[in-house]
Amino acid sequence: MAFEWRCRVYIEDTDFGGIVYYVNYLKFMERARTEMLRAVGYSQQILKSQGWLFVVHDVQARYLKPSHLDDELIVRSDIELAGAATVIFKQRVVGDAGDARCEGDIRVVCVDEKTLKPRRWPKELLQRLEQLD
């Protein structure tokens, strides 16, 4: 995978049974994508100041195995497909032993900050992300 981000499961991430609540995997993936941008020199604030916003258009998630309180997880992120305004990220959350917990395909669309209409992803940003491979 192109980029890895580690996180730990805290009490706030779990349900009454001490298992990660399903929607929190999406939060882990969101944070990993944000850290992936940061790793290539871009923060959300920098991108917004240049008029670019990124919105999740659709998500397909598959829940494979539960995670529990205090588990250390690794979120692996890669670009599956890069179009003009749309990028599909392939993300996989695994345990320390490499066992898959959740995987998802997340379609992220770049939009203009003022009009909220789709616009091309910044070329330099895409090039830097693709160099992570």
The residues that are catalytic are 15
The two tokens of residue 19 are 């298992």
Yes or no: say if 37 and 30 are a contact pair by the CB < 8 Å rule: no
Yes or no: say if 101 and 95 are a contact pair by the CB < 8 Å rule: yes
